[in-house]
């Protein structure tokens, strides 16, 4: 199974292509799509669309996994993240892919063994399980790998 994992945001979106089975996963490609703070949505939303359209077109994917939207105290930020998620969902559906929305505790449980795992435990396990130096990754990038791994572990 080959999956695109996405840690959604507005000005920084982690993404990862992971391939494997529930017992073994390999991070193929990963990164972070970033925009300067205060970039207007009229600029970053079309760029998100173009980036994920290109990325999905380049890979023969089976599914997309995306972290669920957490409740946020800052309504403006929550709305901005929801807009970015909507663009990503649109691209996913245009490519006829299944989208799995995954809660943070499910990701922690699948990757680190328990839903209360710390950020450091998840980073460590991503590195260990995918045989990469996860300490050098941006948090959002590492989270995207964990989301893709969880999608494979949970939905294959």
User: Is 141 assigned a catalytic role?
Assistant: no
The edge-to-edge listing of strands for the beta sheet with 63-67 is 24-34, 12-21, 2-7, 63-67, 98-102
The domain limits of the chain are 2-155
**∠ Cα 27 110 101 (to 5°):** 80
Of 19, 140, 141, 143, which one is the catalytic site residue?
140
Which backbone phi and psi does 19 adopt, to 5 degrees? Answer: -125, 145
- CATH H superfamily, domain 2-155: Ribonuclease H-like superfamily/Ribonuclease H (3.30.420.10)
Active site residue 60: no
What residue ranges of the chain have pLDDT lower than 70?
A: 71-73
Q: What is the pTM of this model?
A: 0.96
pLDDT at 71: 62
């Amino acid at each position: 199974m080959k999956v695109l994992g996405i840690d959604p945001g507005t000005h920084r979106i982690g993404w990862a292509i992971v391939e494997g089975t529930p017992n073994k996963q390999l991070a193929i490609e990963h990164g972070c799509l970033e925009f300067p703070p205060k970039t207007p949505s009229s600029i970053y939303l079309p760029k998100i669309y173009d980036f994920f359209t290109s990325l999905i077109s380049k890979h023969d994917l089976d599914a997309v996994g995306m972290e669920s939207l957490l409740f946020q105290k800052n309504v403006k930020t929550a709305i901005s993240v929801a807009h970015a998620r909507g663009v990503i969902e649109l691209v996913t559906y245009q490519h006829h892919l299944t989208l799995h929305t995954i809660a943070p505790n499910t990701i922690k449980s699948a990757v680190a063994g328990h839903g209360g795992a710390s950020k450091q435990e998840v980073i460590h396990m991503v590195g260990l399980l995918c045989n990469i130096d996860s300490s050098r990754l941006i948090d959002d990038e590492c989270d995207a790998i964990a989301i893709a791994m969880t999608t494979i572990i949970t939905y294959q």
